[in-house]
Structure 1
Amino acid sequence: MNDSDRHRLITEMLLETPFASVRDLQERLGVSPATIRRDIDKLHEIGKARKVYGGISANDVSATGRLSARPYDENRDIAVDAKRAIAEKAAGLVRDGDSIIVHAGSTCYQLGQQLARRNVRIYTNSMPLAAYLGEHGTCHLTLAGGELYREPGIIHDPSAGAPDFFASRFFLGTQGISAEGLLESHPLLTKAIGELSTCADEIVLLADSRKFSIQPRNIVLPLSRIGTIVTDDSLSDSGAKMLEDAGITILIAAIGVPS
């Protein structure tokens, strides 16, 4: 397979999903990570796609024919270093004795691992995180009630409304970020986040810099509702300005550097 063939296949992939990691492309195309990175650099250079942390993104994500959330078990292996660094930074916001809400998602899962043996009360709707904390944690754990929705990995009762739990902080991730707010393609996540957002003093967003290039259709929360974002050191100047204009405190986690 020559360069042109690979470039065509990559751009076709981006019509189906807004982001592809180096690992995704390596598995699909059967070439080395170094070759994939050269392909990404070239497609970025000629304006066919955007180079982002951990992989490549479609230029106009809103125009992609299919924009669905990745299943949790796929998403957890993307940008792992950035997610781990963000989680370590976010854990520093939590004090012993705090009551917090940790939403579903792979970055929030990393945060839960950081807090597993801390003296904190954690409410979560994440099935993977609940399983981890049940086996490895000593923290006080409260689980959401309802049915298990396997694709987003959450437990939710659509008829129950907001839970009877109040927290100092609600930690959540997002599929995408725009000037309009946090964005998701899965309607159940939109509903669950909206309910949990009423149960905390402050909302803290955990989002690696890729999320600024992903634009699903559903607005979950306006940026004005977010108190703090913890992101990685690949945050663009335009992204930083958008957050600052919304009055959001920005905490930067340096990838590969302990918090």
Structure 2
Amino acid sequence: MDESERHRLILDELKERPFATVKDLLDVLKVSPATIRRDIAKLHEIGNVRKVFGGIAAAERDDAPERLAARPFEENRMLAVDAKRAIAREAEALVRDGDAIIIHGGTTCYLFALRLARRNVRIYTNSMPLAARLWEDGSCHLTLGGGELYREPGILYAQASGPPDFFASKLFLGAQGIGPNGIMESHPLIARESERLLSRADELVLLADSRKFAIRTRYTVLPLSRISTLITDDGLSTEHAKMLEDAGIRTIIAKVGTGE
């Protein structure tokens, strides 16, 4: 199989799925990992695919509306801090002592989990920054998802793993964007992991500051109908509040600048 044929097969594979790992492509191309990585580099260089942590994704169109790449965890921590803290405060009120909960990666979820660090709760997380902080400063029961570390979003992910052996009353999830079609992310690994974790929780609580309603990204992770409760800040517009009401989502508004 020559290079042009391999490139065609890789592009065909991305028509069927938004993301493919090197292991996925090994099964398709039957060549060495080194050859696949060279092919990925060439396709990325000419703009036919995007290299992402763990593999490749289909190239984004330049005309896609409000297209934003995900910021690294440390950079995102510096944005809308007051709103995130207010949301975290409201989210803590939903957790009872003795609860078992799942907390996904993301900076709002990180601030929320810190409020639970010394409470009598069981937490499952795939967030390496959160796990490190809870190990250092917390006394809660902590279960950590396994797999490879993807440094940009700061999450642990195992390509071949099924749902975790952990059952929770609630999954607390962040979002890069929110729109009429649902929760959106630009990183394909986060999209995959969100669905996997939700299969082990009774309900989904979305933590998202009001900026997220203006952001449109590549992947719709979950439809609005999957959200039980959404916590956002008091910058939420009337239009977006109506969208949530029409979708039957319980919405909690966190007042920025009050409380701790």
Secondary structure in 1 aligned to 2:102? strand
Secondary structure in 1 aligned to 2:113? helix
**Which residue is 2:65 aligned to?**
63
Q: Is 1:104 paired with 2:97?
A: no
1:201 partner amino acid: D
**Which residue is 1:77 aligned to?**
78
Runs of 4 or more above 6 Å deviation: none
Q: So what's the TM-score if we normalise by structure 2?
A: 0.75
Distance 2:165 2:223 in 1: 23
**Which residue is 1:238 aligned to?**
239
**Which residue is 1:38 aligned to?**
none
Q: Deviations over 1:45-103 (max 9, x none)?
A: xxxxxxxxxxxxxxxx9425x53100001001000000001001100000000000000
Distance 1:86 1:209 in 2: 10
1:137 partner amino acid: G
Equivalent residue runs for 1:136-147 within 5 Å: 136-147=137-148
Q: So what's the TM-score if we normalise by structure 1?
A: 0.75
Q: Deviations over 1:178-230 (max 9, x none)?
A: 01000001000000001001110110000000000000021000000000000
CA radius of gyration, larger in: 2
1:119 partner amino acid: N
Aligned residues: 199
| Residue 151 of structure 1: how far off its partner (Å) | 0.3
| Residue 258 of structure 1: how far off its partner (Å) | 1.4
Secondary structure in 1 aligned to 2:90? helix
1:135 partner amino acid: E
**Which residue is 2:221 aligned to?**
220
Distance 2:207 2:193 in 1: 17
Secondary structure in 1 aligned to 2:184? strand
Distance 1:252 1:158 in 2: 36
Distance 2:124 2:85 in 1: 20
- Identity over aligned residues, as a percent? 63
Distance 2:250 2:159 in 1: 32
**Which residue is 1:15 aligned to?**
none
**Stretches of structure 1 lacking an aligned partner (at least 5 in a row):** 1-60
Distance 1:176 1:232 in 2: 15
Secondary structure in 2 aligned to 1:250? strand
**Which residue is 2:191 aligned to?**
190
**Stretches of structure 2 lacking an aligned partner (at least 5 in a row):** 1-62
**Which residue is 2:177 aligned to?**
176
Q: CA RMSD in A?
A: 1.4
Distance 1:171 1:258 in 2: 21
Distance 1:135 1:63 in 2: 42
Secondary structure in 2 aligned to 1:119? coil
Secondary structure in 2 aligned to 1:123? strand
Equivalent residue runs for 1:191-206 within 5 Å: 191-206=192-207
